[in-house]
Structure 1
Amino acid sequence: MDLSSFDVLDADNIPDFYCVRRQLLAYRNMVPKDDLPDYVVEVAPVPASELAKKDEGLPFRQQSEPVVTKSSASSLRRQMSAQVERPPPKKAPALVVSANAWRPAAKKTPEDDLKRQVQGLLNKICPENVASIIEKIASIKVDDIKQLEAIIELMFKKAITEPHYCETYADMVFSLKAVYPSFPDPDGGKPITFKGLVLNICQNEFEELLAYNDISAEQKATLDAEELEYMRKKRKDRMRANMKFIGHLFLRQLLSAKVIGSVICELVLCEQIDDLPEEHALECACELLLAIGYTMENMIAGQSALTSVCGRLKELMKRKLENGKSAYCKRVQFMIQDVLDTRAAGWAKKVFKAAAKTKEEIRLEQEKEMSERAKGKDVTKAECVVTGQRPVYLSQATGA
């Protein structure tokens, strides 16, 4: 149909498709010419002169091409889209409740509240505020053995997961051992004390170390190489952190030299000369010796234990298998040699690992470093320390 024949219209006799023509003209102004259908392209505009003559009685009649506004454009889109048939919306699948979906927990017990309170305090601990944290934990009322065990377990867990804070947590144990009361043993034995519970947890962890088994066959079948290596490293780090924590408990006189000596001898199998200790046991023994060496050396009971253990380590380092290969890998041999060299140097060694320090200690180190740089000296990040010394506050109290 040629719509151009309706350019001039009688105001009293306007066909119904006039409004359609106006919509097509508006649509043509909105869409690129290449995308327009032929019947829209062929629509001729209404001459302005004729529209002026017939303007009366025609609402919305324009003098020229229609001007497209946002409202008219959106209206036109709605009209055009209404004519397109759309498939009915698909019904959403029903939600499946997971087997481990979150559910409101049961009503909290006093023990849960105590754990949350202690955990919040332990998360804030650092050498700068350890005294105030100890005071806050000491002010928590403990009514039974379960609550006391809960506090100790949280402290032990933090100590072995944050080994650089082992000294801080050992100081906390030393300060709290005289604060909490003892409780009667349900089995009729000796009263249960804070110190006794700490040592029991450390002993249980040590026994797990001795009964340590490598990754099971099931885990090897289900986990990839990276996951297996991560699991081994995590276990090894936990074992070494436990040895370090035990060593710092000994330095604070919470363990006797006789007990700590028997622990080391059991790790290296001093009484079973023909047997070879596991590599992880030797690593733990080296970690423990470096944590307590200086103090053990200055005790009569400790000297004999050190002589026996170091002699055993030297022999194991040189041990050969039947095929002529070394019984232990180079990493373990180097760890043993490091212990022997440190003992020969009076338990003095350079330490590159960052330890937990107070702001004042960091400030003094920076001043010392700046002073040495000003004198033209080479400054390294290594720090020469004597390993295995008792804490200063404890040495002053005992006169050692």
Structure 2
Amino acid sequence: MRFITLLSLTVPFFLFFSVRTFLLFQTHNSIYFFSFLFFFFFLPTHPYKRVPMQFSIEAIRSVRNNYREPPYPGFSLEEVVRRRKLQQTKLVRGDKAWVAKGTAQTTEEWVQRRVQSCLNKLSERNWDLIIDNLCTKELFETKEILENVVHMIFRKALDEPENSKLYARLCFQLSLYEVTDLAEDRKKVSTKNPAKPKEEGGAKPSGMLQSELRDTIVIVSQREFKEFRFDSSARKKDAAEEDLPEADRKDLVEHDRANFMRRKRANMRFVGELFLQQLLTYKTVLNITDVLLDNAKHGKFPESENIEIFTELLTTIGQKFESQRKADVNEQFTLLQNLLKNPDCPYSSRIRFKIMDLIDLRKCEWGAKPKAVKPLPRSERAKKASAVPGKAPAKAAEAAAPAGSRSWRDVASSKPTASAPAKAPLATSAAKAAAAAAPAKPPVNAAPLVPFELRVLSMQQEWVQHRVNDFIPEWMMQFDTVDREFDSAESLAVAVAAEVIKSACVTTRGNAQREAYGFLVVGLFLTDSEVLQGFASACAAAVEDGLLEDVPKYSERFMQMLRLTAGEEVTADVYYDAATVLRMAYNKITDVDDVTEVLMKFWAKVPPPPEVPSEEERIQLVLTVIVSLCEEKDAAPGLPTLLAALFHSMHTMGLVEQACLDEFCALTGTPFHADIVKALGQF
């Protein structure tokens, strides 16, 4: 037996040795050579021992001359290495990685998955399909399942307040399904003449829907309303917050409070929509309003949070609520008017304006509430701007604007000249002239004029407080009743931008500059030209009013906010925008000594160019960019001195090469250009 086993192990290896010896000495073909490598290095020569895969330097060098041609045309070792690096590595599964769930094990789990899936897909377009999928008897099997469904709908409505009406209609349809289609199986509740809402093609039910779903909605609404008060001491704190400075902790508390108030406003809006769908009674809503204005009935001032959510609720349900409870509404608005008339009113301008807006909305019979409008793209906004008196379309304004009014990249490829083309005057409106010639009509119930600064502050605070990051539709109409008049929409936009920038640079509150810039470019949707002109006006006002002495860090905050126009990184736009703003600010300043010296203090706050590994990545301003800054139109006396100081500083910082300055001085142009060259010679 041993002999047979030894023979079975020896014969195969004898054959292997014979084959590899034949291949080695009979041919040098590459295919046979790799076969030799396979047999020699990969097959064991001993039944119980494997030869290690180790090659000596001499063995490798002995075969290097056998392959002088590349394996395939265009072969590159660098390309092979690059492809190998690009190969996807094995993903590392995290501790909290998503894992596909299996089939639902219980009815509660099945209902939760089905409802969440339908809520994520719900829209006006697929309304009927989603309703058919949701209207199942499993939703009403137990009170726990039904309460969980209502909680899911509430969470969705509070996260998406703009879709509150859609989710309120969903609750109505589920209640309608409960009292109609399930009436044969469940005789616990009933209603009189159930029908679809009027919006959906049917009449509202004459009676209130009495269903378990409706009762659960009332319970959840009351529970959410009772958790109204915000307690900063009860918020969850992370271990990392203990090491934060006091200012940062206050910012976190303020952020949590803003999220809390946004949730409460969304809750009041959803409650109002449920009331409009007849899922909540007048008594329930009246109890809510009585709680919110309870202090006002006793001669005290309600909390500002109560006033804010009260205005949100009445804005939603005011028309229907007043039609049935006019006496109660009259009493509530009398309390609001008394609060405004009280000289000791402690509310901020934002809250006072909310009360005034609600009163005006009622005077207009609840019909002037602005609809939700999405921000227009710049192309559509340019077409719409052509119809505004005194404001040219965006494309025309860009064509007429000086070369330095946009970005340095827009002028880097243009032909260098000694001076940039002048800006075309704004076109006048024939309709405006005709309106001025017509006899003036006496004002009807003219509202008192509001200070311009307070209106800007109120609008900004409301936008930041809501943190909606959305465009404010028709925001210019809110300035029809301010104490200042403007010739055009552009002048109004510049004035608002200047006021916002000045307020952000005066305050010591952290992150104020970033919030203000977001309000200008997102909330008001201002163009680049309007924002830069606003910066110039704010700079000129600070110099003339002496704010630099009262607020030593004004220039530093100003440049930090201006830097946001070019993005987070330091690029050529940072220096180009700063020089453009200082040039425009110089032309706005009057009767101030040493203006150039003061403005150069602003320039000193510009960040230095970053260090780069190669010369190609260094920030450079070319000749056309330098020329575009030398706009001669409406130039104030002494402007060449400021421009020369800016160019010299750019050269010192390494932004402008000496050859570029020499080429600029060699240009032949106007006397204005000659004055700049002369001022450069003094440095």
TM-score, normalised by the number of residues in structure 2: 0.35
Counterpart code for 2:257: R
Pair 1:252–1:165, CA change in 2 (3 A): same
Match of 1:229 in 2: 254
CA–CA distance in 2 between the matches of 1:61 and 1:345?
A: 93
**Contact 1:240/1:287 (CA < 8 Å) preserved in 2?**
yes
Which residue among 272, 281, 284 is the counterpart of 1:247? 272
Measure the CA separation in 2 of the matches of 1:258 and 1:61. Answer: 95
Choose which of 336, 340, 343 in structure 2 pairs with 1:313. Answer: 336
Equivalent positions of 1:70-109 (< 5 A) are 108-109=105-106
Match 2:304 to one of 279, 298, 313: 279
Q: Distance in 2 between matches of 1:183 and 1:332?
A: 49
Tell me which residue corresponds to 1:137.
Answer: 134
1:141, CA displacement in angstroms? 2.0
Q: CA deviation at 1:120?
A: 0.4
The SS at the match of 1:298 is helix
Q: Give the Cα–Cα distance (whole angstroms) in 2 for the partners of residues 213 and 228 of structure 1.
A: 10
Q: 1:117 aligns with which of 114, 119, 127?
A: 114
Which residue of the partner structure matches residue 440 of structure 2?
Answer: none
- The structure-2 alpha-carbon separation of the partners of 1:294 and 1:350, relative to structure 1 and needing over 3 Å to count, comes to closer
Residue of structure 2 equivalent to 1:359: none
Give the 3 Å change call, closer, same or farther, for CA 213–60 of structure 1 in structure 2: closer
Residues 134/224 of structure 1: CA separation in 2 closer, same or farther (3 Å cut) = same
Q: Deviations over 1:238-258 (max 9, x none)?
A: 101111111111112222223
Whether 2:178 is the aligned partner of 1:177: answer: no
Shift of residue 224, structure 1, vs aligned partner: 3.7
Q: Does the 8 A contact of 2:108 with 2:145 survive in 1?
A: yes
Q: Contact 2:297–2:335 (CA<8 Å) still a contact in 1?
A: no
Q: Is 1:340 matched with 2:359? A: yes
State the shift of 1:348 in Å: 1.7
CA distance in 1 between counterparts of 2:161 and 2:304 reads 20
Aligned to 2:287: 262
Q: Residue 626 of structure 2 aligns with which residue? A: none
Q: 1:147 to 1:218 in 2, by over 3 A?
A: closer
Map Cα deviations across residues 110-167 of structure 1 (whole Å, 9 max, x no partner): 2122101110011011122223212210125232111111211111111111111111
Q: Using the alignment, how far apart are the partners of 1:227 and 1:173 within structure 2?
A: 35
2-structure distance, mates of 1:60, 1:138: 77
Within 2, Cα distance between the matches of 1:265 and 1:67?
Answer: 94
Distance 2:171 2:112 in 1: 17
Separation (CA, whole Å) in 1 of partners of 2:64 and 2:144: 89
Superposition RMSD in Å: 4.1
Residue 125 (structure 2) aligned to one of 124, 128, 131: 128
Residue 117 and residue 273 in structure 1: after superposition, are their counterparts in 2 closer, same or farther (change >3 A)?
same
Number of residues paired by the alignment?
268
CA distance in 1, matches of 2:124, 2:97: 40
> For residues 366-399 of structure 1, what are the alpha-carbon distances to aligned partners after superposition, in whole Å with 9 as ceiling and x for unaligned?
xxx9xx99xx99xx9659xxxxxxxxxxxxxxxx
Determine if contact 1:145/1:183 at 8 Å carries over to the other structure.
no
Unaligned runs of 5+ in 2: 1-61, 72-91, 189-209, 375-383, 389-429, 432-471, 476-683
Task: Return the letter of the residue paired with 1:306.
Answer: V
Q: How does 1:1-400 map to 2 (within 5 A)?
A: 108-142=105-139, 143-180=141-178, 193-209=212-228, 211-214=229-232, 216=234, 219=237, 224-269=249-294, 272-299=297-324, 302-321=325-344, 326-354=345-373
Larger relative contact order (CA 8 Å, sep ≥ 6):
1
Check whether the contact 2:232–2:253 (CA below 8 A) recurs between aligned residues. Answer: no
Structure 1, gaps ≥5 residues long? 1-58, 72-94, 185-190, 356-368, 384-400
Q: How far did 1:334 drift?
A: 0.5
CA distance in 1, matches of 2:288, 2:64: 102
For residue 225 of structure 1, report the CA deviation from its aligned partner.
Answer: 4.6
Shift of 1:177: 0.9
- 1:19-51: per-residue Cα shift (whole Å, max 9, x none)? xxxxxxxxxxxxxxxxxxxxxxxxxxxxxxxxx
Distance 1:348 1:215 in 2: 42
Kindly provide the amino acid, as one letter, of the partner of residue 107 in structure 2: P
- For each residue in 1:172-223, what CA deviation from the matched residue of structure 2 results, as whole angstroms up to 9, or x when unmatched? 1111113236798xxxxxx9711000111011001111x4334548758566
Task: Report the CA distance shift for 1:108/1:61 in structure 2 as closer, same or farther (over 3 A).
Answer: closer
Q: Contact (CA 8 Å) 2:295, 2:301: kept in 1 or not? A: no
Distance in 1 (CA, whole Å) between partners of 2:129 and 2:67 is: 76
- Identical amino acids, percent of aligned pairs: 25
3-state SS of the aligned residue for 2:121? coil
Tell me if structure 2 keeps the 8 A contact 1:215–1:228: no
Structure 2 match to 1:8: none
Q: Is the 8 A contact 1:270 1:312 kept in 2?
A: no
Pairwise CA distance, 1:315: 1.9
Q: Is the 8 A contact 1:286 1:335 kept in 2?
A: yes
d(CA) in 2 for partners of 1:178 and 1:162? 24
Amino acid paired to 2:258:
K
> Match of 1:144, as an amino acid?
T
Q: Which residue of 1 aligns with 2:454?
A: none
SS in 1 for 2:368: strand
Larger Rg: 1
Structure (1 or 2) with the greater helix fraction: 2
With structure 1 as the length reference, what TM-score do the two structures score?
0.57
